[in-house]
Amino acid sequence: MSSPSKALRPLTKLSNAVYLSEPPASTLANGTAACGSDKAPQLILISGWMGAQLKHVEKYADTYRNLYPTSAILLLRSTEGDFFRPSKLVQALAPAADVLRARASGYTAGPSSGLLVHAFSNGGCLTLKTLNELMRKSSKTDGQKPLLGNATLPARAIVLDSCPGLSSFRGTIAAFTAGVKNPLIKVPLMGVLAIMYGAIQLWDFVRRRPSILSRVFAYFNSRALPSVPRLYLYSTTDKLVPCADVERHAADARALGIEVRAERFEGTPHVAHARVDPKRYWGAIQDVWEKSGIEPGRR
């Protein structure tokens, strides 16, 4: 399968958290896509996992470039600080909201939409939640009207990779130390994180509110997001997000009437299902995207 050279589709940095990749003019002129230009997403929103290096998240963008050469790609990054400094995250995501205002304001969630959303892990879910809420509110500084108002993100389909998961001590420590290999750094860091985890749990208890991950978990089955077809990609051996959490969330979504497809991988690490079984992974995404363009009564 031929695709536009990556050099012709650089990622343009809009902020520390937001990158945009445009399709080449030649591709748009030809109007070709792997599954037919009429079936390709117009915009693919990728919300990466916490602490992921740009080059690792961009591998997914590269595959999307091959599958859908005519699609623009909006890539969001997640950092550990997002969980502690929400105002900074809102500020960093402002350019993404601008892109969506410019390109998706005419979309309606459902089969006619050109937006495909792909979130990774709890970090990607938090980023997506924050962006969604940012667009649902009008800006006090620029006077822009909200893109969504009381509506939802105008997606045609949503892909959830290794998420969402509930808060646990073990999972939290593993998530925040996943990129640390040196034991001289990792062990003390785990001690600091354990203290912070306990303090946050106590603070949430005092304020009588659920943990941040519990709030994100509930948000993804709330009316704040559209009831469009949804694909869960997860593993039985994920050490950060247990498969039981994902399966519970998928079951809750089905109970709400959402069309759900769950792909349960065996033996694959966290956010590594595409690397282990790319044919199954990307085949499921293409299938869900294609079928999501058909009216529910005709699927």
Give the pLDDT confidence of 213-237 residue by residue, as tens digits.
899 999 999 999 999 999 999 999 9
| 120, 112 Cβ separation under 8 angstroms | no
Give the pLDDT confidence of 80-122 residue by residue, as tens digits.
888 778 899 999 999 999 999 888 878 889 999 999 999 999 9
The CATH number of residue 236's host domain is 3.40.50.1820
Q: Which pLDDT band, with edges at 50, 70 and 90, does 24 fall under?
A: confident
CB atoms within 10 A of CB 72: 19
Q: Are residues 81 and 182 in the same domain?
A: no
Range of the domain at 191: 168-210
87 membership: H or E segment, kind and range: helix 86-104
* Side-chain-side CA neighbours of residue 85 (13 Å): 9
Instruction: Average the pLDDT over each of 55-59, 164-168, 179-183, 203-207 and give the range with the smallest value.
Output: 203-207
Q: Which two tokens stand for residue 127?
A: 């980023």
Domain-embedded: residue 244: yes
Count Cβ atoms within 10 A of the Cβ of residue 170 and give its class: 0-12 exposed, 13-18 middle, 19 or more buried.
exposed
Question: Considering the entire predicted model, what is its pTM?
Answer: 0.83
The number of distinct structural domains making up the chain is 2
Q: Which two tokens stand for residue 205?
A: 């208890």
Helix-strand-coil percent breakdown of the chain, rounded to 5? 45, 15, 40
Q: Which residue has the tokens 């649902």?
A: 136
| 225, 136 Cβ separation under 8 angstroms | no
- What per-residue confidence (pLDDT) applies to 299? 67
For residue 113, give the nearest of 95, 100, 125, 97 by alpha carbon. 100
Distance CA 250, CA 254 (A): 6
- What per-residue confidence (pLDDT) applies to 63? 97
Q: Are residues 195 and 222 in the same domain?
A: no
Of 182, 210, 238, the residue at which a domain comes to its end is 210
- What per-residue confidence (pLDDT) applies to 158? 98
Domain-embedded: residue 1: no
Distance CA 250, CA 253 (A): 5
Q: Are residues 187 and 251 in the same domain?
A: no
